[in-house]
Amino acid sequence: MINEDAAQLDMKAASADYRKLFALYQGLDTLNALVNRSATKGISSLELTQLSKRFSSGLTEIGSWMSSSDFEAIRMVQGTSKTTSKTTAAVPRDSARSITGPIHEGSIDTPVAAFEGDTRFSITIKVPVGLTSSQTTAVPIDLADMGSTPRTLDNVLTHINGKLEAAGFQTHLGREQIKAEAKTIQVNGKPVTLPAGPDKWALAIRGTSTETVGFTAPDTSDAVYVVQSSGAAGVAQLLKFQSDVGTAAQPTGGGIGETQWVAGRLSQEALPGGAKDVRASAVGPDGSLWVVANVTAGPDSQPIKGVQDVALMKYDSAGRLVSTRTLGAASTASGFAIAVDANGDVAVAGSVTGALNTSTTDAGKTGDVAGVADSFVTVFDKDAQELWSQRRGARAADEATSVSFGADGTVYIGGRAQSAVTGAAAVGGWDGYVQAFKAGEPYPTAGIVAKATATTQFGTSSDDSVDAMTVDGSNLYTAGVENGHAVVRHFTLDAAGAPTLASTRDLGTISGEIGGLSVSGGKVILTGTSRDSGLSAGGVTTAHSGGKDVFVATLSSDLAAAPSDRMTWYGGSGDDSAADVKVHDGKVWITGVADRDPAADQDDPTRGYLVRLDPLSGAVEYERTWSGDDDQARPLTLAVASGGASVLDRLGLPAGEIDQSDSKRLIDATSLRVGDRFYISPADGGRSVSVTIAAKDTLATLARKIEVASNGKLKVTVASEGGTVTGKDGGGVNTTTGGFQRLSIVARDGNAGAVLTSGEPGRDALAGLGLSPGYIGATIGDDITRTFGLDLPASLRIGDATLAKTAGERIQAAMKAVRDAYRALDPATKAAGASSGPVPAYLSNQLANYQAALARLGG
């Protein structure tokens, strides 16, 4: 891509800088040609793949050349040239202040609908007692004690705060105003600005550093969380429903700002922008909801390294985002499955393409040069801090589609592979596989490292898969489509957790997908969708209705055919989907798209549904259907929480303790991983020094590392930003009550500072920090070398039209930077301050040659 010797110059005895700039420009021009070719109409997918590979390797080559090339009169960097650089990655500050979603709209002098009726709950306050213990006090709140006093915001808050003060606590509740703003919408392709509506009001819980606040309610019901894609734009939303199991009063209407309300729904919240392809969710033992999503752009405070990453998001029972953790993949990762154990640990599984730094001591595959997808599994503790991560795979593509915890802490993943997984043998085509992992003792520098302890691979000579998996004591079950048949497999687990195949059940041809697999009441319950293709599993309780229907098959635990086996079908005459399935207290909960015309276009209306079935009788016990914005509702996942619904939901208050702090470790708060690094070199050339991320690093410790690595040339401070309250589509508020902290980097004393260079693929810390590689320091001054930044990210791609457009714009800007650098070498510029008189012949010739060369650069 870059060949300095191939640069043909018109200028005799041209300086090395001229030759380097010509070589760099020609390399960029070649990249630009690849971009233009990739945008050609009708180009084949094979050629596009080849162009993408060449583009990526060429971009890497340019980056390597830039980092090793020394210019004499100017400074060129692949990244940017700035006097000050700030990380976009940020760490939240602790705060004892928390804001609910809006619970009232309009004047504060009018009664609040959310306070009507039987409104009873308790506020719990936990205070430390000594160094190692604490004491929790419950302060009961019953709004009936207010008598005939109108239940306005201020009246209710006065009543509640009086109870807290009488109990001797400093914690109190207040109100937070959410100012209404004008909104612009598109009508017939034209923007129309709607006037601002009434202001909204939320509750503000103001605690102290020594008082941990929580909430409980006396009457509860089960709650069901559904994540859906809503509207033509596919906005991801979190819906919360109240089941008919329990004693809590049923909701009578939607919350402030909610749309498309349906009876039984408690709340509607929007997931962060950039979240897509939500494929799994689960409820923890503390009632928290965990959601796995693919993200193409991290949150504003948490940039991702590659094109797509996997995010684990934790929500409290009120639908407020508590924390977000990203995998830290350098290229592309997808999350497919989640499991939560009784201790609250969370396992996430999926696939990753490109580099992923799993640990500094693990000898397993890191994927530094991997061009195909590999399976991964990552385990977090109940506070969303990563415990360990493993990437394992076959030589060809593979992916983990299921994950489960064993009784002894062993983590099992199931999926499919196109070749032999390490420790097993391939059968043919895509094979199903199960792999067991066991965590070892922590390493001093790398933390916990898990090892694969057992692997089994199975299937037919055709394409097979594991689409669902569950562990019940010493038994492990898988379900998948094998050569077009729905097949359930039963494995027994030995003392070490290794699986051995015990039995197999072929349910016949399936014309659809496997949805879920569970064990309840001694029965194996398999769920999915299929047309009437001959799929069978015993007595039919409810017949197939037409199109693609949902099925629930109830089988014996040993998979042998038994008189108690049942097959239940659910659906209308059109196509029904089973996006997700959960078995809770022996009942089957299913969500998906209801009764859709098989001939309908992709943009035609779709309705979501939530249903609870008795798997033995086939009876439908609970059923809801709803539309979405733009008549588009597409449920993606569901999770069931025992006793998760109460009066607290209409007050916007979370059940349990409020999280007042989050981890300050960079590997938790950002997409950084242990071992990620970048390099700092002197501004005027010299040896570069690496800055490597350690497990315990915070913003403060990283700031010190950067200053030391720059030999004191850079000054790094931790800058704080205030908290904000931002309105959110769907009725909630995205609140950062304590604000954020970021790193701010400047050259010490305003002098030439240093150059930041990205780390290797899979280990680059700059991307995870949201820092641009390049020069940080003064840009003007008598003794300051002029610096030109290409601002050419190493993550540029040309795989589709949008990516190619972005890449083309960045390359054109980089080519302009080269032309600007060339002008800085103009002899006329150097001679501008010379004395008057005739121009020397050598300078006239040099100017003429310069103009000819500049013309060749398109300048």
Q: Tens of pLDDT along 326-365? A: 998 888 899 999 999 999 999 999 999 887 766 533 333 4
Does residue 76 register a pLDDT over 80? yes
CA 478, CA 689: separation in Å to the nearest integer? 50
Q: Are residues 500 and 520 in the same domain?
A: no
CA 334, CA 516: separation in Å to the nearest integer? 19
Residue 763's pLDDT is what? Answer: 84
Residue 765 has φ and ψ, to the nearest 5°, of -85, -25
> Could you tell me the maximum CA-CA distance found in the chain, to the nearest angstrom?
110
Q: Which residue has the higher pLDDT, 323 or 551?
A: 551
Does residue 726 register a pLDDT over 60? no
Read off the pLDDT band of 734 (50, 70, 90). Answer: very low
3-state helix/strand/coil string of 170-206: CCEEEEEEECCCCEEEEECCEEEEECCCCCEEEEEEE
Number of H helices, E strands in the chain: 9, 51
Question: Residue type at 631?
Answer: D
pLDDT (mean) for 238-253 = 95
pLDDT (mean) for 257-280 = 92
Domain-located, residue 229: no
Q: Are residues 491 and 553 in the same domain?
A: no
Q: Which residue has the higher pLDDT, 422 or 714?
A: 714
Query: Which ranges of 69-152 does DSSP label H, i.e. alpha helix?
Result: none
Q: Tens of pLDDT along 781-809? A: 767 788 899 998 877 889 888 889 999 99
Give whole-number Cα distances, 792 to 79, 248, 698, in Å.
6, 57, 28
**Which range has the worst mean pLDDT, 431-435, 600-604, 754-758?**
600-604
Read off the pLDDT band of 187 (50, 70, 90). Answer: confident
Residue 684's pLDDT is what? Answer: 80
Residue 71's pLDDT is what? Answer: 86
Q: Are residues 331 and 384 in the same domain?
A: yes
Domain-located, residue 396: yes
Residue 856's pLDDT is what? Answer: 56
Cα dihedral sign for 145, 147, 149, 150?
Answer: positive
CB-CB contact of 805 with 797 (8 Å):
no
Read off the pLDDT band of 54 (50, 70, 90). Answer: very high
Residue 18's pLDDT is what? Answer: 82
Q: Are residues 543 and 463 in the same domain?
A: no
Token pair 């719990």 in the structure block, residue: 124
Domain-located, residue 194: yes
Domain-located, residue 859: no
Burial class (CB in 10 A: 0-12, 13-18, 19+), 519: middle
Does residue 675 register a pLDDT over 60? yes
Q: Are residues 370 and 466 in the same domain?
A: yes
Q: Which residue has the higher pLDDT, 763 or 638?
A: 638
Q: Are residues 529 and 473 in the same domain?
A: no
Q: Are residues 520 and 495 in the same domain?
A: no
Domain-located, residue 159: yes
Q: Are residues 354 and 464 in the same domain?
A: yes
pLDDT (mean) for 287-316 = 88
At residue 129, the 3 state secondary structure works out as strand
Percent of the chain beyond pLDDT 90?
62
Domain-located, residue 267: no
Residue 218's pLDDT is what? Answer: 97
Domain-located, residue 761: yes
Q: Are residues 684 and 603 in the same domain?
A: no
pLDDT (mean) for 38-47 = 89
Which H/E stretch holds residue 84? strand 84-86
Could you please report the per-residue DSSP string of 569-635? EE--SSB----EEEEETTEEEEEEE-SB-TT--TTS-B-EEEEEE-TTT--EEEEEEE--GGGBEEE
Token pair 């599984």 in the structure block, residue: 349
Q: Are residues 489 and 572 in the same domain?
A: no
CA 846, CA 828: separation in Å to the nearest integer? 9
Query: Which ranges of 40-191 does DSSP label H, i.e. alpha helix?
Result: 45-68, 153-166
Residue 730's pLDDT is what? Answer: 35
Residue 572's pLDDT is what? Answer: 93
Does residue 839 register a pLDDT over 60? no
Residue 408's pLDDT is what? Answer: 84
Residue 832's pLDDT is what? Answer: 43
Picking from 559, 788, 588, 754, the residue whose alpha carbon sits closest to that of residue 17 is 788
- Mean of the per-residue pLDDT values of the chain: 87
What is the reported pTM? 0.86
In the listed set 760, 789, 818, which residue is the last one of a domain according to the structure? 789
Domain-located, residue 265: no
Q: Which residue has the higher pLDDT, 822 or 727?
A: 822
Residue 735's pLDDT is what? Answer: 39
Does residue 237 register a pLDDT over 50? yes
Does residue 463 register a pLDDT over 90? yes
Name the token pair of 678. Answer: 């970048």
CA 650, CA 203: separation in Å to the nearest integer? 12
* Residue span of the structural domain in which 753 resides: 79-93+663-789
Does residue 857 register a pLDDT over 80? no
Q: Tens of pLDDT along 402-447? A: 999 998 889 999 999 999 998 899 999 999 999 999 987 665 445 6
pLDDT (mean) for 80-106 = 89
CB-CB contact of 178 with 202 (8 Å):
yes
Residue 229's pLDDT is what? Answer: 95
pLDDT (mean) for 491-518 = 95
In the listed set 789, 808, 838, which residue is the last one of a domain according to the structure? 789
Read off the pLDDT band of 10 (50, 70, 90). Answer: low
Q: Are residues 484 and 547 in the same domain?
A: no
Number of domains into which the chain is organized: 4
Contacts of residue 272, defined as CB under 8 A and 6 or more positions apart, other chains included, come to: 295, 299, 313, 321, 324, 734
Question: Residue type at 685?
Answer: G
In the listed set 758, 789, 820, which residue is the last one of a domain according to the structure? 789
Name the token pair of 718. Answer: 């931790």
Residue 12's pLDDT is what? Answer: 53
Contacts of residue 455, defined as CB under 8 A and 6 or more positions apart, other chains included, come to: 421, 422, 423, 424, 433, 434, 435, 436
Residue 64's pLDDT is what? Answer: 84
Q: Are residues 481 and 342 in the same domain?
A: yes
CA 527, CA 515: separation in Å to the nearest integer? 5
CB-CB contact of 859 with 818 (8 Å):
no
